[in-house]
């Protein structure tokens, strides 16, 4: 007995997550090949789904994991889009690499935004982010070089000679406009995959544990050595950078911008919050399911005008009342399935060494 020891291991992977990883890889391959056999309208729909998914994942990182409920994410979409337009129009940059500048611009805006907003708590933080977004919108509307309050379009020279569009035209035998849609779609696939993979990696690290601790109880997190201030800054800046990238990509595809559209509270924050809430806040799977439900509802109800928005509100309230953790949370609670597990599980427990061969109960794998 003196030589016996317990053989334990800590795991996060489950059988369901292993299967989902294979399925996800196949879906990515299909997504990359989709322009070869899909119509232009389907490519545009997929672009919308993917970009809204990216926005939802970053808002979910901010609110669902960081506990920072912002209603001012449209500021980062707008400033990213305008930064991209600015360097293309004023400096002659190509729109594709300018998407990175969109992310940097949003990151720079997030620094003073966080400096002021982090002095507020709860609902005051949410209102504060919205006020800052409105101030930024009003300031951008005075930028005459990019159209002022009426907006502007990307120059034809920029859209016509955009990186990779010539190769896409030759490869698929399409016109320039369709080639731009395919390019934007491929970039959206890349951004969505990188976003989900990056967030999942973050949540599996020690920083992810610290982030969850800060969300659940900031004082308790501080008592065990978690730097709550640093965690909040990190998640806010990362979310802003990713949201800015999405904003630049969205308006590269649109090729037309105005302050009211780029800084729309409804399009870039209200809809995103709806997606996360109905899908399941605080999970990676939730926004994926939520964006699919949102797209279906939009396709079915968009022709009903204001009734469409009322229907979304009723659906959102109903789900919050009867499934507070969203549709994915309801499914996961009943089945135990997690496609992106982040919880640590203690498995094994077999006694080894000496003459002891008994096996202790191990945690149940999902």
Range name among 69-78, 220-229, 342-351, 352-361 with the lowest pLDDT average: 352-361
Instruction: Give the pLDDT of residue 365.
Output: 41
pLDDT digits (tens, 9 = 90+) for 140-191: 999 888 888 888 988 888 888 888 888 888 888 888 889 999 999 999 999 9
pLDDT digits (tens, 9 = 90+) for 32-46: 999 988 889 999 999
Q: How far, in Å, CA of 65 to CA of 58, rounded?
A: 10
Separation of CA 38 from chain center: 25
Taking each helix axis from N to C end, the angle separating 176-204 and 206-216, rounded to the nearest 10 degrees, works out to 80
Handedness of CA 30, 33, 36, 42 (dihedral sign): positive
Alpha-carbon distance values, 85 to 36, 163, 248, 255 (Å): 30, 16, 8, 9
Average pLDDT over residues 329-335: 86
The residue ranges of every structural domain in the chain are 38-263
Nearest to 52 by CA among 298, 257, 316: 298
Average pLDDT over residues 99-121: 94
Nearest to 88 by CA among 175, 161, 190, 164: 161
User: Where residue 111 falls among pLDDT bands split at 50, 70, 90?
Assistant: very high
Instruction: Give the pLDDT of residue 362.
Output: 44
């Amino acid at each position: 007995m003196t030589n016996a020891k317990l053989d334990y291991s800590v795991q996060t992977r489950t059988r369901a997550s292993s299967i989902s990883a294979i399925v996800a890889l196949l879906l990515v391959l299909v997504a990359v090949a989709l322009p070869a056999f899909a119509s232009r309208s389907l490519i545009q729909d997929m672009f919308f789904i993917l970009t809204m998914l990216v926005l939802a994942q970053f808002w979910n990182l901010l609110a669902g994991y960081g506990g920072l409920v912002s209603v001012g994410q449209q500021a980062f979409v707008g400033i990213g889009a305008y930064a991209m337009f600015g360097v293309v129009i004023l400096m002659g940059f190509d729109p594709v690499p300018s998407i990175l500048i969109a992310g940097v611009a949003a990151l720079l805006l997030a620094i003073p935004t966080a400096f002021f907003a982090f002095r507020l708590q709860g609902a005051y933080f949410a209102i504060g982010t919205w006020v800052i977004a409105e101030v930024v919108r009003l300031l951008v509307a005075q930028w005459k070089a990019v159209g002022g309050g009426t907006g502007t379009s990307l120059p034809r020279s920029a859209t016509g000679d955009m990186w990779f569009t010539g190769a896409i035209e030759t490869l698929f035998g399409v016109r320039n406009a369709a080639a731009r849609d395919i390019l934007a779609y491929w970039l959206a696939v890349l951004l969505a995959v990188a976003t989900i993979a990056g967030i999942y990696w973050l949540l599996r690290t020690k920083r992810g544990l610290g982030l969850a601790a800060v969300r659940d109880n900031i004082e308790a997190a501080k008592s065990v050595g978690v730097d709550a201030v640093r965690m909040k800054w990190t998640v806010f800046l990362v979310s802003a950078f990713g949201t800015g990238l999405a904003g630049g990509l969205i308006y590269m595809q649109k090729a037309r911008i105005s302050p009211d559209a780029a800084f729309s509270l409804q399009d870039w924050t209200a809809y995103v919050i709806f997606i996360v809430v109905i899908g399941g806040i605080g999970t990676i799977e939730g926004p994926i399911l939520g964006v699919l439900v949102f797209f279906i509802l939009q396709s079915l109800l968009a022709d009903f005008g204001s009734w469409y928005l009322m229907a979304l509100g009723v659906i959102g309230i109903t789900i919050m009342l009867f499934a507070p953790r969203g549709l994915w949370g309801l499914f996961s609670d009943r089945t135990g399935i997690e496609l992106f597990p982040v919880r640590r599980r203690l498995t094994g427990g077999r006694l080894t060494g000496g003459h002891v061969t008994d096996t202790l109960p191990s945690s149940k794998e999902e």
